[in-house]
Every structure is written in C-alpha cells, then in structure tokens.
Amino acid sequence: MGRKELTGKISTLLILLLLTGAIFFFSLLKGKVSYTFSDLFSRKGEADIILLNIRLPRCITALIVGGILSISGVVLQGILQNPLAEPYTLGISGGGALGTTIAVILGFGIAGRVGLSFAGALLSIFLVLLLAQRRGITPASLILSGVIISFLFTSLVLLLFSLSHTREIHEVYSWMMGNLSTLTLHQAKIFFLLSLPFIPLLFTGRELNVLSMGDERAHSLGIVPSRWRLFLFLLTAYLAGMSISFTGIIGFVGLMVPHLLRLAWGENNIFLLPASFLAGGSFLLLCDFLARNIAYPEEIPVGVITGILGSIFFFFLFLKGKYGNIT
C-alpha cells in the first residue's frame, strides 16, 4: 500500500471518528428536552437526571454495541468466508433468548435476566463448538452447527412461551426486538467494562486478511487457520453474546455496516475493522435517537428501526447491481 493510500485511509478514519463524536453528542443532547453543550458541565436539576441517568447510558451502550456488532460482522464474514454471516449466524441469539425467557418466567429482575441471557449465549457457543469440532473448525462446520443449535434453542423458547403468561411473552418478545431504553448508568458502566475485549479485536485485521485468502495461504504465512478461527470466533461470540444480554437482539447492523464500508473502502480488514466500529456505533446511535423520538413519548424497539433502515439499504444496494461484494 502506497503512502498516499495510507494517508488517505488514516484521514478518513479520523473523519469517521469526528463524525461519530458529533453524532454521539447530538444524540445525547437532543430530544424532546434539548440541552446545549454547556449544560453538560453545569449540572442543574433536571438536566442532571435526564442527561446522566437516562441518555448517557443509552448513548454509550449504543455506540459500543453498534461497534461490536459491526466488527463481529466483519470478523465472522472473514473467518466463515461468507458474506451473509453476521453475529447471530452462530446461534448466540437463540441461546440469549432462551436465557432471557427462563429469567423472565422465574421472575428475575434485570441483573438476573442479563446474567441468564449471557449464560444462554455461552451455552450455545459451547454447543456449536462441540458440534463443529467433530468435523474440524471449518467455515462449513461452524455455520451448520450454528444453524442446528439456533433451531434447537428457538424451539425451546417457543415451548416455554406456550407455558407462560401473556405479559411474560411480551417482555421476552420486546427483548428480541432490541431495547436500549431501560439501561441505567450502573448497567452501562458494567457493560463498558465487560466490553473492553473489543479493543484487541480491532487490531486483528492482518490475521483476518490472511484467513480470507484460504487455509493453504494462511499456513504459508505462518498462521494456523483453525486456531485463529477458534480464537476470533470465541472473542466475537463473547462480545456479541454479552451485548445482546444487555440490549436484546439488534439485527442488521452486523450484516449491513461491513458491506457498506467495503463498497467505500475495499476488503482490507486492517482498516475495515476500526472503520466498521465507528460506522456501526454511529448508525446505532442514530437509530436509537429515532427509536426514542419518532413516536415520542412512545418508544419504538430499536431493532425495528435498524431492520427497516437495513432492509431499505440492501434494497438499493441490490438494485444498483453492486453484487461484487455479495456473491
């Protein structure tokens, strides 16, 4: 890569960073009750509570979850060599849903729900690996195992639905549509700490590039593909599973953002990873802003917004004939 290209990519990253920052503060300050930048530092009465306790946890989590889902998409599309791969391909959404359903039925509060949801996601990861490693940790076996485990857990969730109250079903169903509206500052802090492993993931671009070239090439460059696939898979699954425990299932971000950026940036994962993180974070921040303001004071599940915007995007992408990155 020439110096010009490098400078170009770095400056675009910086612009993305600034843009993300702007969107973050826009989302934080604007709403039915709008604040100015200086309000952040003056701490008077109501400003305190709405900004700090309600919007800040929401915005921080949206930024990080959007980023995590996007880089998970990039990584999974790379290691599975499948452009339709995204964080939920490998069954964690089913596991998370089962955990949440059990927690709701048992009457647990938020802490219990997050905990059980994460446990469910971990269980599904474990089962997928158990199943896949019998045939070797290859893209095909991982995807197949993911589908099988996903079906299993979803069926269990539906079984539990058939035995529960309407209210319980509604709550789980809402979780499955994604929800950032009930996050407290305390939860956001915990989430932030638990999500820090995303940072090393941002720097695995080189290995990801090599893995996408096929196993033989990888060996010749000194990278053991199955081990790296396992490591990347585990890290991604942990991050995505942990995210959905806090926010429910937010779809499309992991699928759409990597494709959008590849159109603009090309396939190089070294830059695609940080760029996707920022773009995904910005996208989810905007979607959450819409989710909480479009029908104010009523809230729309954020997963619905990402789904609709994501579908529209893919529709135009398809129309424009930009198949190059999909097939």
Partner 1 sequence: MRQRLIFLLLFLFIPLSFLAGEINRIVSLSPDITKSILLLGEEKKIVGVTRYSPIHNKPVIGSILQINIEKVVSLKPDLILATKEGNPKEVIEKLRSLKLKVIVLNEQKSIGDVFRNFLYLGEILDKEREAEKIINQVKEKLEKIKEKWKGKTPIPTFIQVGISPLVTVGSDTPLNEMLEIAGGKNIFSHLKRYPRINPEEVWRRNPRVYFVVSMGKKISPLFPPRGVKIYFLSAEDFASLTPVDVLKGVELIYHYLWEEKN
The nearest distance, CB 264 to partner 1, in angstroms, is: 34
Tell me how far apart the alpha carbons of residues 282 and 234 are, in angstroms, rounded to a whole number.
Answer: 25
Longest dimension (CA), the chain: 63
Q: Which is nearer to partner 1, 110 or 152 (CB)?
A: 110
The nearest distance, CB 302 to partner 1, in angstroms, is: 10
The nearest distance, CB 214 to partner 1, in angstroms, is: 44
Tell me how far apart the alpha carbons of residues 225 and 212 are, in angstroms, rounded to a whole number.
Answer: 10
User: What long-range pairs does 100-103 form, CB within 8 A, spacing at least 24?
Assistant: 100/172, 100/175, 100/245, 100/248, 101/157, 101/160, 101/161, 101/164, 101/168, 101/172, 102/160
Q: Which is nearer to partner 1, 165 or 322 (CB)?
A: 165
Q: Which is nearer to partner 1, 99 or 258 (CB)?
A: 99
Place of tokens 């500052």: 185
Tell me how far apart the alpha carbons of residues 98 and 104 are, in angstroms, rounded to a whole number.
Answer: 10
Place of tokens 């996601």: 121
Q: Which is nearer to partner 1, 60 or 149 (CB)?
A: 60
The nearest distance, CB 150 to partner 1, in angstroms, is: 23
Q: Which is nearer to partner 1, 162 or 327 (CB)?
A: 162
Q: Counting Cβ atoms within 10 Å, is residue 41 exposed (0-12), middle (13-18) or buried (19+)?
A: exposed
The nearest distance, CB 116 to partner 1, in angstroms, is: 13
Residue 190 Cα distances to 64, 114, 184, 186, 199, angstroms: 13, 11, 10, 6, 16
Point out which residues bind partner 1 (CB under 8 A): 31-33, 46, 49-50, 53-55, 107-110, 113, 162-163, 165-168, 170-171, 174-175, 179, 181-182, 184, 292-293, 296-299, 301
Alpha-carbon torsion angle 312, 313, 319, 322, nearest 10: -160
The nearest distance, CB 285 to partner 1, in angstroms, is: 16
Residue 62 Cα distances to 38, 246, 255, 260, 289, angstroms: 23, 11, 17, 19, 10
Q: Counting Cβ atoms within 10 Å, is residue 37 exposed (0-12), middle (13-18) or buried (19+)?
A: exposed
The nearest distance, CB 111 to partner 1, in angstroms, is: 10
How many other CB atoms are found less than 10 A from the CB of residue 304? 16
Q: Which is nearer to partner 1, 178 or 280 (CB)?
A: 178
Q: Which is nearer to partner 1, 33 or 264 (CB)?
A: 33
Q: Which is nearer to partner 1, 108 or 314 (CB)?
A: 108
The nearest distance, CB 82 to partner 1, in angstroms, is: 33
Tell me how far apart the alpha carbons of residues 156 and 152 are, in angstroms, rounded to a whole number.
Answer: 6
Q: Which two tokens stand for residue 200?
A: 């090393």
The nearest distance, CB 118 to partner 1, in angstroms, is: 15
Q: Which is nearer to partner 1, 72 or 93 (CB)?
A: 93
Angle at CA 140, nearest 5°, toward 138 and 145? 95
